[in-house]
């Protein structure tokens, strides 16, 4: 049987800094280009809201959920509609992920990344979902292990540190986040990996670890907004992702992990830039077309509401946009008539229609 992993001191002693310079430069340049797009957005939180939800979808998919972006947004537009219990559970996990990262953004305005912040995020992430009974919002007090579903500790592929070793490991990890390092991106690679190796929770470690990425980039002022979506790359390269992490625990191969992580940052920053540019281009297009179609003083409110929630009920549109009811219905009818909006489900009786802004969904899921 494997022994529990013993975290080494931070920073790792064997980082080959000179070898990483080309990738560090590439990742920093790609992130700077992406941040340039963020800085041109008046409200990136609103415009990139669907991308934040898609990040929640993909990060949760790495852990086994199957729900899609459309299914999540459609559920939020009509939460009383009956769906399979397993699908409902998947969707709730995704919504919790998005709620946690939005909460983290608020918390970072008052305090830096710290263990108490991590505990609060975990409490939100695991609220009323599978694993909610596994010490939600608390660091574990028992041994956990990783392996095939249902395996015993004897057959585990990885055994995290023992509960007695957690306090010291987490304290060192927290201190390292706020230490000065030769490069912030390599430091983030170490922060992310060490958290997952410590595995301080009984469930939700991977999702919290991935959440740390945009929060760190924002706190260290590498990005002007905490909006970076790495789960797409990690989900597509899942086998390499886990292999690189395992190589740290088995061979202390921090350099292999840092290479993988810097490559992920650089490539995903380029993909995120394409998506953000496409969203911004669509927003500018809507700012020309919607006022011309509707001739309404509420055109900008309508556009912002569509970008915030691209699948919605007519009732939610009225509430979110704060546009008077009859004017809102007229705007929606005119946008549907011009093909900007499509009906997903017709309303019946008191049940509101569900509409979709397909062009934004297409960018969110397929551009890049």
Please tell me whether 199 is known to bind a ligand.
Answer: yes
Please tell me whether 347 is known to bind a ligand.
Answer: no
Dmax of the chain from CA atoms?
71
Please tell me whether 63 is known to bind a ligand.
Answer: yes
Q: Which of 286, 276, 284 lies closest to 306 in space, CA to CA?
A: 286
C-alpha 253/C-alpha 244 separation (Å) is: 8
Report whether 316 contacts 328 (CB < 8 A).
Answer: no
Pairing, β 354-356 against β 311-313:
antiparallel
Report whether 332 contacts 239 (CB < 8 A).
Answer: no
DSSP bridge partners of 348: 351
Please tell me whether 345 is known to bind a ligand.
Answer: no
Pairing, β 342-345 against β 354-356:
antiparallel
Q: Strand order in 354-356's β-sheet?
A: 311-313, 354-356, 342-345
Please tell me whether 241 is known to bind a ligand.
Answer: yes
Cα of 97 vs its chain's centroid, Å: 7
Please tell me whether 206 is known to bind a ligand.
Answer: yes
Q: Which of 101, 108, 144 lies closest to 125 in space, CA to CA?
A: 101
Active-site residue, from 20, 178, 199, 366: 199
The secondary structure of 73-129 as a DSSP string is HHHHHSTTS---HHHHHHHHHHHHHHHHHHHHHHHTTTS-S-HHHHHHHHHHHTTTS
199 is catalytic: yes
Please tell me whether 205 is known to bind a ligand.
Answer: yes
Please tell me whether 204 is known to bind a ligand.
Answer: yes
Please tell me whether 295 is known to bind a ligand.
Answer: no
> From the annotation, which residues make up the binding site?
63, 199, 203-210, 241-242
Active site amino acids: 199
> From the annotation, which residues make up the binding site for ATP?
63, 199, 203-210, 241-242
């Amino acid at each position: 049987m494997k022994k529990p992993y013993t975290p080494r001191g931070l920073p790792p002693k064997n980082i080959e800094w000179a070898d990483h310079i080309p990738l560090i430069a590439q990742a920093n340049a790609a992130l700077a280009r992406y941040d340039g797009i963020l800085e041109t957005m008046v409200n990136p939180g609103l415009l990139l809201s669907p991308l934040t939800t898609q990040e929640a979808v993909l990060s949760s998919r790495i852990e086994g959920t199957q729900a899609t972006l459309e299914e999540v947004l459609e559920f939020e537009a009509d939460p009383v509609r009956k769906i399979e219990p397993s699908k409902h559970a998947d969707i709730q996990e995704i919504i919790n992920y998005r709620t946690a990262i939005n909460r983290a953004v608020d918390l970072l305005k008052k305090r830096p990344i710290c263990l108490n912040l991590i505990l609060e995020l975990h409490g939100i992430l695991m609220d009323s979902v599978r694993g909610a009974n596994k010490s939600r919002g608390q660091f574990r007090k028992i041994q956990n292990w990783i392996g095939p579903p249902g395996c015993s500790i004897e057959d585990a592929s990885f055994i995290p540190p023992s509960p007695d070793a957690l306090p010291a490991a987490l304290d060192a990890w927290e201190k390292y986040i706020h230490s000065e390092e030769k490069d912030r991106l390599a430091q983030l690679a170490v922060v992310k990996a060490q958290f997952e190796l410590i595995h301080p929770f009984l469930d939700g470690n991977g999702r919290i670890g991935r959440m740390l990425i945009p929060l760190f980039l924002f706190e260290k002022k590498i990005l002007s907004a905490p909006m970076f979506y790495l789960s797409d790359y990690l989900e597509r390269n899942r086998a390499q992702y886990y292999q690189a992490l395992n190589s740290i625990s088995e061979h202390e191969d921090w350099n292999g992990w840092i290479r993988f992580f810097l490559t992920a940052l650089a490539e995903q920053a380029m993909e995120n830039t394409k998506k953000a540019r496409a969203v911004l281009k669509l927003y500018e297009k809507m700012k020309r077309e919607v006022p011309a179609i509707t001739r309404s003083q509420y055109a900008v409110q309508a556009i912002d509401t569509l970008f915030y929630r691209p699948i919605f009920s007519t009732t939610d549109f009225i509430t979110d946009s704060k546009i008077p009811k009859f004017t809102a219905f007229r705007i929606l009818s005119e946008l549907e008539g011009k093909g900007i909006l499509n009906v997903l489900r017709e309303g019946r009786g008191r049940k509101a229609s569900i509409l979709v802004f397909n062009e934004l969904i297409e960018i969110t899921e397929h551009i890049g």
